[in-house]
Amino acid sequence: MDMPLFKKLWEEKYQIVPENLKKIKKIGAVATGFNANIDAVCHLSGEKLQFLIEETGLTLDELQNIERKQIFDQKDVLKGVFRSFSQGIAEEWICENEDVYTWIQKHIGYDKLQIGGQGGIIANVLSSVGIQKVFAHTNSLPKLQADQFVKNDNLFSFDEDGKARPAYLIDRKKDLPLIHFIIEFKRGDVIVLEGQTFKCPRANRFIATYDPLNLKLVLDENFMQAMKSEKLDLVVLSGFHALQEKNDGIALIEKAREHLKAWKESAPNTLFHLEIASTQDLTVRREIIKKLVPLVDSIGINERETIDVLEVIDQKALAKRTHSQTTAENLLKGMSKIKEETGVKRVQLHMFGLYMTLQDKDFRLSLEQNLKGMLVASVVAGAKAKSGATDEENIKNVTYDVSDVGLIELESLSLALGQPDLALSGIGHYRLWDLIVTPTILIENPLTLVGMGDTISSISLVGAIGG
């Protein structure tokens, strides 16, 4: 296919975005839960990473020997960072050792503070695009954390007395700030270890999480009670990925399941979406897929999370093949297996340069609505990557330069499926279901990648609802 014409065709499709952003402002109310925290963001250079590795005395063999994806000491921190740096992948490892947390503060530090946790990030994004009411679940909201929410009067949380107020104005003085370290690195940066050069293939990040409340999935009862009487268009859930079997993770999932069942029964017209984040505990991952996913209407995943889910639904061969060849075709096969196993009505995947949605033919959001929502999400995500913000002005500054890598993946997928119109329209089918595919806008040298998947999933949905 002629690439300039192909690119122009998709850039013309993106012209609907400004009008659809206006429609989003008519959406009445959404809620996000359950994890909100403070992200301490650090841009770590290859030079500093190399210094820390050499100072700690880690050998290359030790760095590459990943026996656990958890943090028990500072060596585990560096193993995780090196793995993400050298492979260009995003991962989150849990830390329960306060001494290691202190070591990260002292030796890596941070450049800035911002809202963190999928629930917190999504609340800020949805507030910024103008939804009339956004309710954010917060199990901790001291002033330092409240300051990270956008200063908008449409974003609410709950004070000590259970009163809904703009989140940025709340100061629950008895609460502790929950801080996660987001260690980011740039594409093309290098480190040299034992005579070998390692070049970062893709800008990405490693997250070291020390968070006693979210690790225990502590719920704010004021939020839970208030949401039963709110008329919500959408609920976006997350935060289960931090649970661990050894810390009552299975019991906590069962408890959350009962809350979710009751919530859904009281709100039959509300669309419930679950973000599947990087879940290191295999048993917890399996329970999330088995007990929570079948309850929601929609889930969001990336490439790595797709592979992780395939591993716990007895699709190890496909997981291995997808890991070695992370193509849209293999990922689509993975999405269909996940959908088949769980019965979830809608699965959205975001990969480098391409978004794909697979859904039931009678799903409440049409193919055309989904396509519009995914186009809007690409622009809003572009604004976040470029500037770190998703307000109206920064969204306007995004140029609709559709990525070549996404177009190439789309063309390859359409040929593999024998559906040439898929490449031109973004609409097709796969097995028994509707398929929507969108090549995306990619930002060269992004300012941040934190919360990109959360932004994509949530904006795709409200863009579709508004569309």
**For each of the chain's 467 residues, which pLDDT tens digit applies?**
899 999 999 999 999 999 999 999 999 999 999 999 999 999 999 999 999 999 999 999 999 999 888 999 999 999 999 999 999 998 889 888 889 989 999 999 999 999 999 999 999 999 999 999 999 999 999 999 999 999 999 999 999 999 999 999 999 999 988 889 999 999 999 999 999 999 999 988 999 988 888 888 999 999 999 998 999 999 999 999 989 898 899 999 999 999 999 999 999 999 999 999 989 899 999 999 999 999 999 999 999 999 999 999 999 999 999 999 999 999 999 999 999 999 999 999 999 999 999 999 999 999 999 999 999 999 999 999 999 999 999 999 999 999 999 999 999 999 999 999 999 999 999 999 999 999 999 998 888 888 899 999 999 999 999 98
Distance separating alpha carbons of residues 384 and 348, to the nearest angstrom: 20
Q: What range does the domain containing 54 cover?
A: 45-107+178-212
Count: domains in the chain? 2
Q: 330 and 363 in one domain? A: yes
- Residue 329 makes CB contacts below 8 A (sequence gap 6+) with 412, 413, 416, 417
Q: 257 and 188 in one domain? A: no
Q: 73 and 14 in one domain? A: no
Q: 54 and 14 in one domain? A: no
Residue 404 resides in a domain = yes
Residue 432 resides in a domain = yes
* CATH classification at residue 68: 3.30.1110.20
DSSP lists the bridge partners of residue 112 as 41
Q: 277 and 324 in one domain? A: yes
Residue 335 resides in a domain = yes
How many residues does this entry show for the chain?
Answer: 467
Distance separating alpha carbons of residues 372 and 464, to the nearest angstrom: 6
Residue 112 resides in a domain = no
Residue 427 resides in a domain = yes
Q: 246 and 208 in one domain? A: no
Q: 182 and 266 in one domain? A: no
Report DSSP state, residue 354.
E
Residue 222 resides in a domain = no
Q: 271 and 411 in one domain? A: yes
Q: 239 and 182 in one domain? A: no
Long-range contacts of the stretch 53-60 (C-beta < 8 A, 24+)? 53/78, 53/82, 53/191, 53/193, 59/194, 60/193, 60/194, 60/196
Checking DSSP bridges between strand 190-193 and strand 196-199, what pairing results, if any?
antiparallel
Distance separating alpha carbons of residues 367 and 258, to the nearest angstrom: 32
Considering only CA atoms, which of 116, 106, 115 is closest in space to residue 52? 106
| Number of C-beta neighbours around residue 304 at 10 A | 17
Q: 373 and 312 in one domain? A: yes
Q: 403 and 261 in one domain? A: yes
pTM over 0.85: yes
Q: 443 and 339 in one domain? A: yes
Distance separating alpha carbons of residues 84 and 264, to the nearest angstrom: 37
Taking the alpha carbons at both ends of the chain, their separation in whole angstroms is 30
Residue 149 resides in a domain = no
- Residue 8 makes CB contacts below 8 A (sequence gap 6+) with none
* CATH classification at residue 384: 3.40.1190.20
Residue 136 resides in a domain = no
